[in-house]
Amino acid sequence: MDRSSLFQLIQEQLDPENTGFIAVENFTSLVEHHELQLDPSKLDMLLALVQSNEEGQVCYQELIELMSSKRSSSFRRAIANGRRTLQREILLDETGLGLYKRFVRYVAYEILPCETDRRWYFHQNRLCPPPVFIAIVTIVQIIVFMCYGIMLNKWVLQTYQPDFMKSPLVYHPGHRAQVWRFFSYMFMHVGLEQLGFNALLQLMIGVPLEMVHGILRISLLYMAGVLAGSLTVSITDMRAPVVGGSGGVYALCSAHLANVVMNWAGMRCPYKLLRMILALVCMSSEVGRAVWLRFSPPLPSSGPQPSFMAHLSGAVVGISMGLLILRSYEESLQKQCSWWVIVFSFITFLLFAIFWNIFAYELLGVQIPPAP
């Protein structure tokens, strides 16, 4: 039975008067006594939709949306209220999976705290579009670093090389009128160790997040962390330049870690406590290293070293904006009041930072180091 025939059967037999609603007992009888050629996960979703209803009827339109691979609002309510029960074993018990499907299952358990969401993502996942944003950003960062490494013949502490700071990609307070620098600094790195740390974290955490939540949400989160990093430095550390993608990386990491903490009981990733401790230790050590380079540089330098405030502001963006993105899997952000509150707060910060960069430096008489 194809989908159109099934929809026609449901409408003719269960809703002949076109009321838009179907009695629960009639729908349950249809599911139990007809051979519906649907994958097992959709049968679970349909039964969950039925079991969650308290008014004795199912909305025909929501049923059509669910069977057309769209999460219906009533099913989302059933998930939120915990009134659904899965009819089959958990996703980890699936056998005979190929390599790609096993990886998708691994990602589902790494990112999603709810078994129903995991099953839905697992069965709805498609390789197209692939998670390309984080991969492209990482590749560009590596290429830029290698180009400057070869040109300067220097692979660590590159900021001590004057030609490095002359790059049109580095954010420098003397060049803050060049707006692209508030973003492009994410492609420059102090040295091999900073690049390696950022690339490893954003690939390990960013790629699974992008697979589940999509390129639009993850790119928005990453770029918001990058922009917040440079703007925060321009306000709090006004004489310092900025290099590295730490703002975006810390936005991804803090969002994921906060999501794990908020849904601790539901997360099924192995050794989650140990992994969280290791992640926090690594992130804290990277911040400590950035603070040390900023205030106690190991070599004499012609100007202030890059600021560490991008790390902290990226983490704040991840906990606020990112946590909401990760908690609203497959749900429209535009319909959430809290999302608009966060967007309004970010825009307010953005406008304040713009006015600060235009007027505050002259009003406060800040002595900016000479632009390279």
- The answer to whether residue 241 scores a pLDDT higher than 70 is yes
Q: What is the mean pLDDT of residues 216-228?
A: 95
- Set 246, 254, 313, 320: catalytic member: 246
- The answer to whether residue 113 scores a pLDDT higher than 80 is yes
Percentage of the chain beyond pLDDT 70 is: 75
Q: Is 230 a catalytic residue?
A: no
- Please provide the average confidence, as pLDDT, over all residues in the chain: 82
Q: What is the mean pLDDT of residues 285-299?
A: 86
Higher pLDDT, 264 or 68: 264
Residue 5 is predicted with a pLDDT of: 63
In this prediction, residue 296 has a pLDDT band, given cuts at 50, 70 and 90, of confident
Residue 357 is predicted with a pLDDT of: 94
Across 17-53, b (16+ Cβ under 10 Å) vs e yields eeeebbebeebeebeeeeeeebeebbebbbbbbbebb
Q: Do residues 324 and 339 make contact, with C-beta atoms less than 8 angstroms apart?
A: yes
Residue 265 is predicted with a pLDDT of: 82
Q: Do residues 233 and 242 make contact, with C-beta atoms less than 8 angstroms apart?
A: yes
- The answer to whether residue 370 scores a pLDDT higher than 50 is yes
Residue 64 is predicted with a pLDDT of: 64
Higher pLDDT, 58 or 250: 250
In this prediction, residue 33 has a pLDDT band, given cuts at 50, 70 and 90, of low
In this prediction, residue 298 has a pLDDT band, given cuts at 50, 70 and 90, of confident
> What tens digit of pLDDT does each residue of 131-171 get?
899 999 999 999 999 999 999 888 888 888 888 888 999 99
Residue 14 is predicted with a pLDDT of: 65
In this prediction, residue 204 has a pLDDT band, given cuts at 50, 70 and 90, of very high
E strand residue ranges, the chain: 21-23, 57-59
Q: What is the mean pLDDT of residues 237-258?
A: 94
- The answer to whether residue 120 scores a pLDDT higher than 90 is no
Q: What is the CA radius of gyration of the chain?
A: 25
Coarse DSSP helix, strand, coil percentages of the chain, rounded to the nearest 5 percent: 65, 0, 30
Q: Do residues 244 and 184 make contact, with C-beta atoms less than 8 angstroms apart?
A: no
Higher pLDDT, 70 or 61: 61
Higher pLDDT, 141 or 366: 141
From residue 24, alpha-carbon distances to 29, 55, 221, 342, 356 in Å are: 9, 9, 41, 40, 60
In this prediction, residue 74 has a pLDDT band, given cuts at 50, 70 and 90, of very low
Q: What is the mean pLDDT of residues 187-201?
A: 92
Q: Do residues 366 and 238 make contact, with C-beta atoms less than 8 angstroms apart?
A: yes
* Lowest model confidence (mean pLDDT) among 42-46, 308-312, 322-326: 42-46
Residue 86 is predicted with a pLDDT of: 43
Distance CA 251, CA 221 (A): 7
Burial of residue 180 (number of CB atoms within 10 Å: 0-12, 13-18, 19+): exposed
Entry pTM:
0.80
In this structure, the number of other CB atoms found within 10 A of the CB of residue 137 comes to: 24
- The answer to whether residue 305 scores a pLDDT higher than 80 is yes
Percentage of the chain beyond pLDDT 90 is: 40
Widest CA span in the chain: 84
- Set 256, 311, 313, 320: catalytic member: 311
Q: Is 246 a catalytic residue?
A: yes
Q: Closest by alpha carbon to 82, among 40, 111, 116?
A: 116
Burial of residue 172 (number of CB atoms within 10 Å: 0-12, 13-18, 19+): buried
Q: Closest by alpha carbon to 256, among 248, 189, 356, 70?
A: 248
Distance CA 293, CA 325 (A): 33
Residue 80 is predicted with a pLDDT of: 47
Residue 182 is predicted with a pLDDT of: 96
In this prediction, residue 1 has a pLDDT band, given cuts at 50, 70 and 90, of low
